[in-house]
Structure 1
Amino acid sequence: MKGVTILLATSAIALPVSAHAQATDAASANTDTSDIIVTAVARGQNKLDSSISVSSLSAEQLQTSAPRSVAEVFRNIPGIRSESSGGEGNANIAVRGLPVASGGAKFLQLQEDGLPVLEYGDITFGNADIFLRADFNVARVEAIRGGSASTFASNSPGGVINLISKTGEQEGGAIQASTGLDYSDYRLDLDYGGHLTDSLRFHIGGFYRQGTGPRQAGYDGNKGGQLKFNITKEFTGGYIRLYGKYLDDRAIGYLPNPVRVTGTNSNPHYENIPGFSINQDTLHSRYITRNVTLDGNNNPVVDDIRDGQHPIVKSFGLESQFGLGGGWQVTERFRYSDISGRFISNFPSNVDSASTIATALGGAGATLSYANGPKAGQIISNPSTLNGNGLLAQIVVFDTKLNSLDNITNDIRITRDFAIGGGKLSFTAGFYKSRQTIDTDWLWTSLLSDVVGGGNAALVNVRNAAGQLVTQDGAYAYAASYFGGCCRRSYNVDYNTNAPFASLSYETGRLTLDGSLRYDFGNAQGTIAGSDLGGGRVGTISYDINGDGVISDAETRVGVIPLTNPAPVKYSFNYWSYSFGANYRLAEYLAIFARYSRGGRANADRLLFGPAVSTVDGHLVSSDAAVDMVDQAEGGIKYRSGGLALYATGFWARTEEQNFEATTQTFFNRKYRAYGLELEGSYRMGGFSLTAGGTWTKAKIVSDVLNPAVVGNRPRRQAEFVFQATPQYDFGPATIGVNFIGTTSSYTQDTNQLKLPGYTTVNAFLQYRPIERVQLSLNANNLFNVKGFTEAEDASIPANGIVRARSINGRTVSAAVRLSF
């Protein structure tokens, strides 16, 4: 090390360790006793001296685990349940049994360099991971579960996952070209950093890629890239850093797809539908790319379904540290992010036999024909043999315009150490401020499609017995009529969060005691519009969509937003969070710790359009609806000596939750309890190394205001045991390894009927360095093409045996050439 300081995450002081050194520590499986944690703590600490649970992944580990998204990166963190089946984003992420009642990462905050990507991780159709990419800019991923995450970040009582950027301490960079061998994906990554002068350094990097992606969609579903940079000026007693990010990327959002289920709810067998693979196909197609609808101002528009998840992020920030004299230090972080884009994807509201759907939409004697594609106009004379499966899908296009998810965040803190009673007392105090905009329009429509893989599905028309079209060019409605005409909505709300916080930590001998306190207060102000608000608001009208002067049957079902009759949103919230911990170093290589914490999460857009907020004046109907609290206790033992490190943590949590799920139009108001054991370990001997982790969780619903029948049940999708393990061996110029990710079974819904089977996936990697600075690599994600189900819409096996479920992606193999310089 060269005395270079860097402040990362939410530490209160800078650490005399470079990002390169930190990455090296993580890569060595945390066997170095100087391993320092910096995320969601008052100040940097050695793992064995801290009373929190933290894990880290180095840049090298990110490469070898063969992730296809950030959600797949998170699967390798103990205690984290990352349902990585949505593509590049839209993953459901939970920690230590805390619930995912709807979607996203409600109790877990995703950060870049110590500040949140979004203030709320579960914005509907705007989950935080959509706006996050892991590329060569990342030096290290650090994750805290529970503990001080309650007091050193807002809205994150479950934990914090922080992507820490390289900042130029290590001179040089790399360029890598990669391609899919059994799927279409072409990508170029590059980065470079170093010193411009003795006191000025920089880093710049990014990627660009294009291809169909891991599933067969029939078009380039993944297209775009990212560019990030930072420049750091060091001076006596501190530094100042400026940084920026530009992300413009399109990636398909994979939603549930049809799969056939036989057997019983408790012992089901999931199998592919003829002509459609649940882990390699998708209900997207080269022939289904246009969504004709009305926009947020009720004007005709044609949106491109190929946009998928399309985040556009333009952000810049400042980070600085300087001394005030007398041992006092100030740390300032600021970031402004201009965030917009779109989320558009196909959701099957129902998949059934073609004849059953034809009758349901067109009545007895209804007939079917192709609306587009190579068979456009052709009559489907024998629906029961259609594509070898005889099925049709009633698709709701989740077309959501993200007008603005702009986020502005500032965190300032002051720190000082005091010598007291033969020990050291560390004091930190600060103030956090953020403003999160949620300005979105929901522009959903209802289409009818056949069910076939390979990106070859086409739209289908229905005619009634009299030969009159019920659909128009495959559209049954220009609204979410399959959902009863709901959800034509507009949100335009700003959420302000303010939080003073303080902490004290006292170290004396082998004992470390710490406590921290945070007070969050803020408000929500704005308007929402939609017929779901009631009060005579109209959400469906007749409208001549195609402008031919005739109102067709489908054009009598056109969704509009009642813009002239919005409802106000105007309420405030506040809550206290605290965390107290103790750590005792039994020996140089052994420590025990215990901690109790209470933290909160303010509810955002998912609280709206429900019973909690008045549609008359925008105030809360129930004062406790704005915030959900989480109480947690944890304790464990940590061992690290030579090449062996072992960590075991027992945990308990009690969680409140009020939420809304868009796909089922269901509100939740309940409490949960979870307890369990989290294990993490690593071992290194010569060229062999092993990292592994597992989490056993016992969770249940302890109360439910709206649906008492589920009390005592296990929360949906909550497995009792999840695990990961990565053995690898380095020999000369080569490295070979395997990454195992596994889970036991869980239930599709809170009624605890239909099970999602447990599964284990295997990711394999091989690296070969023929000459200095050149590396050839081969990696396989889901090597054995396992069907791994993360969620399903159906609570039990339907009469027709067709379940709508999300599986992880099937096998993808890629190769890369990397040149370091």
Structure 2
Amino acid sequence: MKQTSTRHPKTHRPNTLRLTLTTAILAALSPMVVAADAAPAAAAADPQAASPDQGKNAANAAAKDTQSLEGIVVTGTATAGGVKKLDASFIITSANAEQIKQANPKSTADLLKISPGIWPESSGGQTGANIEIAGFPGGGDAPFFTMMVQGTPLYGMSSLSFMDSSSLVRLDDTVDRVEIIQTGPGVLYGAGQMGATANFILKQGTSEPSGSIAVTYGDEGMYRVDGFFGGKLAEGWYGSIGGFWRQSDGVRSPQFKADDGYQLTGTLTHDLDNGSVMLWARTLQDKNQFMVPTPLIEDAHGNFSKYPGFDALTDTYGSRAIQNVQLINPAGGYESANLANGRGANMNFFGGNFDTEWNGWQISDKFVWSGGNLNTNALFSGPNPKPLGDFVYGCNWSGAAASGFCDSTGSITDGNTFNLPLSTNVNTSGFPLSQSIITQGWWFIQKDLRNLNNDFRVSKEIFDGNTLTAGVYLAHYTDDDNWSLGNPMLMTNTPNAQPIPLSYQQGGNTYYLTNPQGIYYNSGPGYSYNIVEHGTGNNKAFYLADSWRLWDRWLLDVGSRVENISVNQRTCNQKNVNLDGNQYTLYDNAAQICDGTYTTLHYDKTHPSFTAGLNYEIADNMSAYLRVSSGGHFNDFDNGIRGSNGDFSPMQKIRNFEYGFKYQSDWAYLDIVGYHRQFTGLTYGATDNNNVPLDCSGTPTATSGKAQCTAIFGADTKGVNFHGVFTPFENFKVDTLVAYQDGHYSHQNGYATLTDINNKPFQVSFNGQPLQRQPKLRYFITPSYKFVINDDFNIMPFVTYTHVGQRYQDQTGQQPLGKYDTWDFGIVANYGKNWQFRLQGTNLTNEIGLTEGNARVAGVANGPGGILLARSIEGREINLQAKYQF
């Protein structure tokens, strides 16, 4: 069995890495260039490929004009040349490099907030975000979101357990702009994502050398250097290189570096007589703390406040004392894990775009290879905190009744206890029984990813005003995983927690309830899940799209895609063993490891997608459109395939109906969309309200003798997205976003059985409950004013007010997360042609804003005293940057 190393490779010396990137790009480029140069000349322009040619520069300028209906967008379009926003009959948001900075994103995922209808829960840190799309019931990871660079998805599946595609990208000065689309033509091209897709388009070299170097300091102890340089290498050849290096103690300091790493990106572009070819390469080496929910107090009115001694905005359980641990290796024995390695990335990418025209045919090809490790070293929440005495002795302890964890009969109300007799004299390592403690899962996931995909398409105008496009998308990818999950660690319920080892003496022998680091694996309350798995996937898709300008102002586009996925997955079977052979080390006497056998599954599915849009250009400055689309979401290695025993979960499907209006004048830019989304494919084990299992006819299984039904339900959502930019007078601008949705679960027959905070089953119907963790109303407003002091000096201050409405933790709708409001700000000063200074800050008022509750329990999640485990946004953070541009 191949084991993935937990060590992050040493930082490459910049000169060595630059040479490696350049050599790889040149080697891969040369055969493509020879073939392309031999083709007949024709006029073609790709706004994604910068060049000194005047026409291409104009196309690039149009693409960067992100708040103009004359601006060009290339994502979700059939041809490389893209379409004007005025003609785009789908939801699309775009932002250039300056607008990205002004959005004050805390992470790559957090930038998605600029697209109304997308709700990124970025409170977990730089990586591992949950990304919610209006009308798409998610609740974890990001299955309905795909990240692309240069129009190419970075992995063959949109999401896996412990991998959302936003974790594969970091924001830096190599990004020229981003385009974000929702539903619509996204079901046709590339990965065929039926939810949302973000496409990051890179800066490239131009005929005039340009670049920048920036130094940033953040008040959380963050130091960062950004750089970019691009220019002409030879006639028709252009190159660029750039990236960042950053270290940070974190707003929530874990006593080691919360963020530590770099990203380096290089591009090479060659202009052809009839098109262009562009290659890019990137290495990402980053380590990022993953934030676990912390304790808060919820009152009877659903308001949240800080837990005594624990700041929900700035504190974390992470500490040096729990940083380095020994965990069960699923292959047998133990392995080392380091919390400082966090939920980071050790990934490399190599991709390219080739666009040309030959004899009236437009030809486009995009590819990317990616490979590396995306490991997770992190804490994950468990039961609510309680006194140590309650945890060790249960209701046998004299203080248990006062703690609220014992009922009137003296029985424990939850299962989070060893429940030992009081006569057992447990050594608590000097901690009193009154000490507030918590058990956190110390999880270690080693994930080795490999991917190669290619999107090839040809387009031809078959008659005046009608262009037909045909394409093929192919993807081959693998995933090798080693999981050590569970591993409950007993620790103090304090910032920068301390582990609590437990042992006791009996019959002249010492029995160890936990190891010296407070971990008890699966010998007590809690669980472990340890596996080794390997997955291989292949996707094949064919799509056909037609764009027809019916009359002067009417544009119809219709497209269909048929995709097949074929997956082979092998997961080890498990057994419980006494891992160290010592009967007195109770913590590993029933350790779960692989037993040497495997369960192999083959998943094969084919599904069509469809979209059609009709756009009417009312005037040169306004348009309206209608669109319908349908798409499907395949199962992935970790969700719907592994553990299914061949009874695979059904595909999740969407039907989307939307209508939009765009308008622009000297004083306003408006983009308004209404939609109706019907989702199906969610599953649950059917029971009645007495927890009696039912078959698919609604008959108790004990009566029918049939298996319990895996029933299907869905969701129905209507909503409105609004984006407006108002410029009532020169230099003053107000940027406004409003997202409203009314989404509910539907079509559930019977009841589902879930487990509550006290580890007790309960029955619930999801019908009519709001989609979990999605705000019904979210909006922000950003006014800014540019003060022009003189020709060489201007200052632009701006402030952003954001409102996030009520959300609920899970499908039951029983645990509210509340609503909150935040204030962010920025001041940008430009001096001369070269210098820029930027002061920006987030959450200035230190607002507690919950994005996630305790994902390990269902229903009401607060316990005695209103204590709740939940994850808030971070507290106030301010940074200052000085940049030199040339």
Deviation at 1:558, TM superposition (A): 2.4
Alignment of 1:493-572 (within 5 A): 493-507=535-549, 508-531=551-574, 538=575, 540-544=576-580, 551-562=584-595, 564-572=596-604
SS at match of 1:753: coil
Question: Which residue of 804, 810, 813 corresponds with 2:875?
Answer: 810
Letter in 2 for 1:621: D
Q: 2-side partners of 1:659 and 1:68: how far apart?
A: 34
Q: 1:216 to 1:480 in 2, by over 3 A?
A: farther
Q: 2-side partners of 1:521 and 1:7: how far apart?
A: 31
Question: Which residue of 422, 427, 432 corresponds with 2:473?
Answer: 432
Given that residues 623 and 661 in structure 2 are in contact (C-alpha distance below 8 angstroms), is that contact kept between their aligned partners in structure 1? yes
Q: 2-side partners of 1:25 and 1:112: how far apart?
A: 19
Q: 2-side partners of 1:659 and 1:218: how far apart?
A: 42
Question: Which residue of 260, 281, 289 corresponds with 1:244?
Answer: 281
Counterpart of 1:344 in structure 2 is: 377
Letter in 2 for 1:393: I
Letter in 2 for 1:254: M
Q: 1:447 to 1:346 in 2, by over 3 A?
A: same
- The yes-or-no answer on 1:146 pairing with 2:183 is yes
State the identity as a percent. 23
Given that residues 443 and 479 in structure 1 are in contact (C-alpha distance below 8 angstroms), is that contact kept between their aligned partners in structure 2? no
Q: 1:195 to 1:367 in 2, by over 3 A?
A: farther
Q: 1:245 to 1:669 in 2, by over 3 A?
A: farther
Letter in 2 for 1:415: S
Counterpart of 2:449 in structure 1 is: 405
Counterpart of 1:374 in structure 2 is: none
Counterpart of 2:74 in structure 1 is: 38
Instruction: Give a deviation string over 1:186-213, Cα, whole Å, max 9, x none.
Output: 1111111122234111121111111222
Alignment of 1:414-453 (within 5 A): 414-420=458-464, 424-444=465-485, 445-453=487-495
Counterpart of 2:765 in structure 1 is: 709
Counterpart of 1:750 in structure 2 is: 811
Alignment of 1:319-334 (within 5 A): 319-325=353-359, 327-334=360-367
Number of residue pairs matched by the alignment: 761
Deviation at 1:561, TM superposition (A): 2.3
Q: Which range moved further: 736-745 or 474-483?
A: 474-483
Counterpart of 2:662 in structure 1 is: 638
Question: Which residue of 572, 580, 585 corresponds with 2:617?
Answer: 585
Q: 2-side partners of 1:155 and 1:307: how far apart?
A: 33
Look at both structures and tell me which one has the larger radius of gyration over its CA atoms.
2
Given that residues 773 and 851 in structure 2 are in contact (C-alpha distance below 8 angstroms), is that contact kept between their aligned partners in structure 1? yes
Q: 1-side partners of 2:613 and 2:77: how far apart?
A: 12
Deviation at 1:660, TM superposition (A): 10
Q: 1-side partners of 2:389 and 2:185: how far apart?
A: 57
Given that residues 160 and 637 in structure 2 are in contact (C-alpha distance below 8 angstroms), is that contact kept between their aligned partners in structure 1? yes
Q: 1:502 to 1:774 in 2, by over 3 A?
A: same
SS at match of 1:443: strand
Deviation at 1:744, TM superposition (A): 0.6
Counterpart of 1:621 in structure 2 is: 647
- The yes-or-no answer on 1:358 pairing with 2:392 is yes
Given that residues 133 and 195 in structure 2 are in contact (C-alpha distance below 8 angstroms), is that contact kept between their aligned partners in structure 1? yes
Instruction: Give a deviation string over 1:380-407, Cα, whole Å, max 9, x none.
Output: 23x43x4xxxx211111121011x2211
Q: 2-side partners of 1:756 and 1:97: how far apart?
A: 19
Q: 2-side partners of 1:68 and 1:660: how far apart?
A: 35
Given that residues 76 and 741 in structure 1 are in contact (C-alpha distance below 8 angstroms), is that contact kept between their aligned partners in structure 2? no
Given that residues 564 and 604 in structure 2 are in contact (C-alpha distance below 8 angstroms), is that contact kept between their aligned partners in structure 1? yes
Given that residues 438 and 494 in structure 1 are in contact (C-alpha distance below 8 angstroms), is that contact kept between their aligned partners in structure 2? yes
- The yes-or-no answer on 1:819 pairing with 2:859 is no
Counterpart of 1:173 in structure 2 is: 211
Deviation at 1:5, TM superposition (A): 3.8
Gaps of 5+ in 1: 371-376, 532-537, 615-619, 662-666
Letter in 1 for 2:548: Y
Given that residues 209 and 223 in structure 1 are in contact (C-alpha distance below 8 angstroms), is that contact kept between their aligned partners in structure 2? yes
Counterpart of 1:293 in structure 2 is: 327
Given that residues 240 and 321 in structure 1 are in contact (C-alpha distance below 8 angstroms), is that contact kept between their aligned partners in structure 2? yes
Letter in 2 for 1:42: A
Question: Which residue of 459, 463, 471 corresponds with 2:499?
Answer: 459
Letter in 1 for 2:803: G
Alignment of 1:365-376 (within 5 A): 365=422
Deviation at 1:783, TM superposition (A): 1.2
Letter in 2 for 1:459: P
Q: 2-side partners of 1:609 and 1:76: how far apart?
A: 34
Q: 1:734 to 1:104 in 2, by over 3 A?
A: same
Deviation at 1:550, TM superposition (A): 6.7
Q: Which range moved further: 693-702 or 42-51?
A: 42-51
Counterpart of 1:373 in structure 2 is: none
Counterpart of 1:606 in structure 2 is: 638
Instruction: Give a deviation string over 1:695-717, Cα, whole Å, max 9, x none.
Output: 11011111347726112211211
Q: Which range moved further: 700-709 or 680-689?
A: 700-709
Deviation at 1:608, TM superposition (A): 4.6
Instruction: Give a deviation string over 1:625-648, Cα, whole Å, max 9, x none.
Output: 352211100002111122311111
Counterpart of 1:769 in structure 2 is: 830
Counterpart of 2:98 in structure 1 is: 60
Deviation at 1:153, TM superposition (A): 3.3
Deviation at 1:8, TM superposition (A): 4.1
Question: Which residue of 686, 689, 694 corresponds with 2:730?
Answer: 686
Q: 1:481 to 1:597 in 2, by over 3 A?
A: farther
- The yes-or-no answer on 1:727 pairing with 2:753 is no
Q: 1-side partners of 2:526 and 2:590: how far apart?
A: 12
Instruction: Give a deviation string over 1:542-588, Cα, whole Å, max 9, x none.
Output: 1229xxx67411131423123x2210021201100000110111111
SS at match of 1:484: coil
Q: 1:394 to 1:660 in 2, by over 3 A?
A: farther
Please tell me the root mean square deviation across aligned C-alpha atoms, in Å. 2.4
Q: 1-side partners of 2:128 and 2:480: how far apart?
A: 18
Question: Which residue of 391, 395, 413 corresponds with 2:440?
Answer: 395
Q: Which range moved further: 796-805 or 474-483?
A: 474-483
Letter in 2 for 1:363: L
Q: 1-side partners of 2:878 and 2:202: how far apart?
A: 27
Q: 1-side partners of 2:473 and 2:652: how far apart?
A: 20
Given that residues 107 and 159 in structure 1 are in contact (C-alpha distance below 8 angstroms), is that contact kept between their aligned partners in structure 2? yes
Counterpart of 1:594 in structure 2 is: 626
Q: 1:369 to 1:811 in 2, by over 3 A?
A: farther
Counterpart of 2:800 in structure 1 is: 739
Q: 2-side partners of 1:58 and 1:551: how far apart?
A: 62
Question: Which residue of 233, 244, 248 corresponds with 1:207?
Answer: 244
Counterpart of 1:535 in structure 2 is: none
Gaps of 5+ in 2: 1-42, 394-416, 686-709, 753-763, 789-793
Given that residues 320 and 331 in structure 1 are in contact (C-alpha distance below 8 angstroms), is that contact kept between their aligned partners in structure 2? yes
Given that residues 65 and 763 in structure 1 are in contact (C-alpha distance below 8 angstroms), is that contact kept between their aligned partners in structure 2? no
Letter in 1 for 2:837: L
Q: 1-side partners of 2:742 and 2:816: how far apart?
A: 16
Counterpart of 2:527 in structure 1 is: 484
Counterpart of 1:786 in structure 2 is: 847
Deviation at 1:6, TM superposition (A): 3.4
Counterpart of 1:316 in structure 2 is: 350
Q: 2-side partners of 1:202 and 1:754: how far apart?
A: 53
- The yes-or-no answer on 1:128 pairing with 2:128 is no
Q: 1-side partners of 2:584 and 2:110: how far apart?
A: 48
Deviation at 1:491, TM superposition (A): 2.1
Q: 2-side partners of 1:244 and 1:728: how far apart?
A: 36
Given that residues 50 and 512 in structure 1 are in contact (C-alpha distance below 8 angstroms), is that contact kept between their aligned partners in structure 2? no
Q: 1-side partners of 2:809 and 2:572: how far apart?
A: 32
